Amino acid sequence: MKRIMVITSNLQQASFRLWMGALRPLLAERGFELDVKVRPQNWFARRGMLRSAGDYHAVILHRKLLDPSDARLLRRHARRLLYSIDDAVMFHANPVGRFSQWRTTRRFEATARVLDHVVAGNEYLAAMFRQRGRAVTVLPTCLDPAHYRVKTHADATPINLVWIGSKSTLPYVEQHVEAIRTAAARVPLKLITIADRALENPGFPVEHVPWTYDTEADALARGDIGIAPTPCDRWTLGKCGFKIIQYMAAGLPAIASPVGANAEIVCVGETGLLADTPRQWADAIEQLARDVELRRRMGTAARQRADTHYSLTRAADTWAQLLAD
């Protein structure tokens, strides 16, 4: 059994819970034992942890950017250093001052210099590391399809749109309220939100379901159409479209903004639709809401694609090959 050190800053972050809950046992089956370390705030404790990297077959940094001195120390001791990234951590989701962005950029450049291999969730992120001479494997965010109950599509009134996310991305839905309201004037609609905060007074029926891992699959299966509105900026271009993959696993057609990985994941006309302008959003919602056969066909194709392209088994095989090199 080869021991792998995994360094993170947040054990509760969604993509890391996926690592620990699902990928960890799959990698153990393939001969790799993950030893998870939360980056210490204390300088002496942190330096001690970084020096211990030499005790492991390899080190995986999960989304973490290192100060230059920490990066050099880890490089000195790690036999092999890999990086797992599924967000544009080199930028900020919200505006920050020049010093904060300078510090983040400095850490990004320092971290990128010492890496042996990067596993990036989409091409946008991969390109940033390739430009800096790093070897990169693009591995989309994956999930366990068995966790999701597949939707049985049938005629329904109203049609349930569904959105899963968090309070940090709820503003993306709020920016599309007018388009959904326009569609709701054409065909009866309800929006189910699965998140940690509700959408307030949108002008159409909304049902809020507080997110938990144990209930998300049933909540998704109550939807008829999954939506993924996304603005276009350097932060969102780094998003890896996980909610779309969840819709696919639940057998739902998706409507998404053509931003970043969204356009890579959605097969237009096969597993869902892309919409940019408010008119395109309203038209796409109406088209799927009125056509149960189209929803059924796209939902079936979406689930099949989730099984073949976005399963944890594929992710585990890819990571095992990289770690064995």
DSSP letters of 212-243?
-HHHHHHHHHT-SEEEE----STTGGG---HH
Q: How confident is the model at residue 301 (pLDDT cuts 50, 70, 90)?
A: very high
- Percentage of the chain modeled with pLDDT above 90: 81
| Cα–Cα distance, 256 to 298 (Å, whole number) | 14
pLDDT (tens digit, 9 = 90+) per residue, 171-217? 999 999 999 999 999 999 999 999 999 999 899 999 999 999 889 99
Q: Is 63 left (phi over 0), alpha (psi -120 to 50) or beta?
A: left
pLDDT of residue 16: 58
CATH class for the domain made up of 2-142+311-324: alpha beta
pLDDT, tens digit, 9 for 90 and up, residues 70-80: 999 999 999 99
The structure tokens 């099984």 sit at: 307
By three-state DSSP, how is residue 138 classified?
A: strand
Per-residue confidence (pLDDT) for residue 154, from 0 to 100 = 95
Q: Which fold has domain 145-309?
A: Rossmann fold (3.40.50)
177-186 helix and 278-290 helix, angle to the nearest 10 degrees? 40
List, edge to edge, every strand of the sheet that includes 225-228.
206-210, 189-195, 159-164, 225-228, 254-256, 272-274
Please give the pLDDT value at position 15: 58
Task: Look at residue 242 and tell me whether its pLDDT is greater than 90.
Answer: yes
Per-residue pLDDT at 96: 81
Evaluate if residue 91 carries a pLDDT over 70: yes
Q: How far is CA 306 from CA 107, 112, 150, 300, in A?
A: 35, 31, 11, 10
pLDDT of residue 152: 96
Per DSSP bridges, beta strands 254-256 and 225-228 are parallel
Q: What are the residue boundaries of the structural domains of the chain, listed by start?
A: 2-142+311-324, 145-309
Averaged pLDDT, 260-283:
96
Residue 14: predicted pLDDT: 59
Q: Which of 199, 212, 208, 190 is nearest to 171 (CA)?
A: 199
Question: What are the residues whose beta carbons fall under 8 Å from the beta carbon of 123, sequence distance 6 or more?
Answer: 138, 261, 264
81-85 sheet: strands from edge to edge: 32-38, 2-8, 58-62, 81-85, 117-120, 135-138
| Chain segment 6-28, per-residue pLDDT in tens | 998 876 665 556 666 678 899 99
- pLDDT band, residue 95 (cuts 50/70/90): confident
Average pLDDT value for residue range 116-141: 95
Rounded Cα distance, 59 and 77, in Å: 10
Question: What gap in Å lies between CA 275 and CA 205, rounded to an integer?
Answer: 22
- CA 82 – CA 63 distance, rounded (Å): 11
- Is residue 323 within 8 Å of 58, Cβ to Cβ? yes
> Across the chain, what does the average pLDDT equal?
93
State the average pLDDT over residues 246-275. Answer: 97
Question: Which pTM value belongs to this model?
Answer: 0.89
* pLDDT for residue 17: 61
What are the CA-CA distances from residue 165 to residues 6, 80, 157, 324 (Å)? 26, 34, 24, 35
| Distance in Å from the first CA to the final CA of the chain | 15
- 2-142+311-324 against 145-309: fold identical: yes
**pLDDT digits over 34-70, tens only?**
998 988 889 999 999 999 999 999 999 998 899 999 9
pLDDT at 61: 94
Confidence of residue 280 (pLDDT cuts 50, 70, 90): very high
* Upper half-sphere CA count for residue 322 (Cβ side, 13 Å): 26
Query: Across residues 237-248, what is the average pLDDT?
Result: 94
pLDDT score, position 67: 94
Tens digits of residue pLDDT in 259-270:
999 999 999 999
pLDDT grade for 289, boundaries at 50, 70 and 90: very high
